[in-house]
Amino acid sequence: MRIVMIGSGYVGLVSGACFADFGHDVVCVDKDAAKIMKLKAGGIPIYEPGLEDLVSKNVAAGRLSFTTELAAPVAAADVVFIGVGTPSRRGDGHADLSYVYAAAREIAGALHGFTVIVTKSTVPVGTGDEVERIIREVNPVAEFAVASNPEFLREGAAIEDFKRPDRIVIGIEDERARGPMEEVYRPLYLNKAPVLFTRRRTSELIKYAANAFLAMKITFINEIADLCEKVGADVQDISRGIGLDNRIGSKFLHAGPGYGGSCFPKDTLALMKTAQDHESPVRLIEATVAINDRRKRAMARKVLNALDGDVRGKTIGVLGLTFKPNTDDMRDAPSLSIIQALQDAGATVRAYDPEGMEAAATMLTGVEYGRSAYDVAEGASAVVLVTEWDAFRALDFKRLKEVMAEPVLVDLRNVYPPKQMEALGIRYSSVGRPS
């Protein structure tokens, strides 16, 4: 199949490289000339384990290429994916679809022969209808079908998620789209990945419902963690105890500082807005959004409590800045709110993250950056573990204690056993566990 991927950001680049690896002929298009130049030179604009090798292997095999010009590849394509960004619109929280619609307009002018146009970006219900309308308006004689094919990959595990998905969801209104879409995913059919063909609007909503449900699941266990702290129960045992029930499932029950990232915060908000517009509010998601927003900043209180209510003039070491490990993505990371709250309370913050410091430096002010966990712990009255990078899973506590002003560890990811910390003489607190 000849595939064009419009947008070489996170979703576009990973999906494009994986489709090429399936044996398809893939052209990735992006308006950002600097990004395309970097990709052509073998550079990867994002951090994602395994992506660099996958891209270079498929470029070398002649199956993957990059360009800023979409007309020629679109004219030759069987399937054109739209994988551009859909950020939250400033002011109202709706998804900003201007990039999607601009792409649709450009694609329309270049179509030649029957082509399937697929939205891979996360788009609100009804976007496919509008994409179809735009293409028909710009090019009334074009032969095309518009499909929806949401992406469920996680940052840091994107290639694995793409190649071994729990399911593939494809929404179509025109039966002519079925054959090409089956062909695109044929290699995964062989892996027995369940493929769900449904209507286009349903497919669009599946993506939001999935992310909102996961965000709600995390928020549920976070609230249970708060209750555990009050009543002296252990949230990790509760996660295990409820997760073993197959109807609940054990995943996404890890209590922490609140969910962040480029998807859950934006998608929950967009679903909430769509539902309100249709006078069918999703109140569980409204509550989820509000609880999670409050939680991030509230995590700073744990640090204050660990230091007898006062951090003024003290140095706090922060381990991990990205919203989760194995990414350089800082979007809506809990660390941002936690650090600002600590600074507001008068603390000096020193931070270390294996990949996120460059992005963090553009979003935070007054933070000093270190070269390792031990570097930021130097002279600190407390160390706060915010993101569970592997580099923080086996800290040398003897060394930490030697350099810290006070041996205080606030572990917002429950990485360490409280008993072990007590034995090591660390004043330890975590999330939803008796210390």
- Residues in CB range of 58: below 8 A, 6 or more apart: 17, 20, 21, 26, 64
> Does 169 help bind ligand UGA (rule: CB under 6 A)?
no
Within residues 73-112, the interface with ligand UGA by CB under 6 A covers: none
Q: Shortest approach of ligand UGA to residue 15 CB, angstroms? A: 11
> Does 9 help bind ligand UGA (rule: CB under 6 A)?
no
* Residue closest to 81 by CA, chosen among 205, 187, 211, 181: 181
Q: How many amino acids of this chain bind ligand UGA (CB under 6 A)?
A: 21
Residues within the annotated binding site for substrate? 152-155, 207, 252-256, 260, 324
Considering only residues 24, 296, 302, 324, which one is a binding residue for ligand UGA as defined by CB under 6 A? 324
Q: How many CB atoms neighbour CB 362 within 10 A?
A: 8
Considering only residues 48, 132, 155, 353, which one is a binding residue for ligand UGA as defined by CB under 6 A? 155
Within residues 175-214, the interface with ligand UGA by CB under 6 A covers: 211, 214
Considering only residues 64, 263, 342, 360, which one is a binding residue for ligand UGA as defined by CB under 6 A? 263
First to last CA, the chain: 57
241, containing H or E segment: helix 235-243
**Smaller CB separation from ligand UGA, 327 or 381:** 327
375, containing H or E segment: helix 373-377
Is 263 tagged catalytic?
yes
- Residues in CB range of 231: below 8 A, 6 or more apart: none
Q: Shortest approach of ligand UGA to residue 210 CB, angstroms? A: 7
Binding region for ligand UGA (CB under 6 A) out of 151-159, 182-190, 229-237, 296-304: 151-159
CA distance 4 to 236: 45
- Cα–Cα separations (whole angstroms), residue 344 to 155, 260, 339: 31, 21, 9
Q: How many CB atoms neighbour CB 328 within 10 A?
A: 19
Q: What would the DSSP string read from start to end of 337-361?
A: HHHHHHHHTT-EEEEE-TTTHHHHH
Binding region for ligand UGA (CB under 6 A) out of 102-110, 147-155, 167-175, 356-364: 147-155
Considering only residues 58, 65, 86, 122, which one is a binding residue for ligand UGA as defined by CB under 6 A? 122
Considering only residues 73, 260, 370, 432, which one is a binding residue for ligand UGA as defined by CB under 6 A? 260
Considering only residues 85, 124, 180, 256, which one is a binding residue for ligand UGA as defined by CB under 6 A? 256
Please check whether residue 369 is in contact with residue 352, taking contact to mean a CB–CB distance below 8 angstroms: yes
* Residue closest to 353 by CA, chosen among 378, 324, 380, 394: 324
Q: Shortest approach of ligand UGA to residue 348 CB, angstroms? A: 25
Please check whether residue 177 is in contact with residue 150, taking contact to mean a CB–CB distance below 8 angstroms: no
Tell me the catalytic residues: 263
Residues that bind ligand UGA (CB under 6 A): 122, 151-155, 211, 214, 218, 252-254, 256, 259-261, 263-264, 267, 323-324
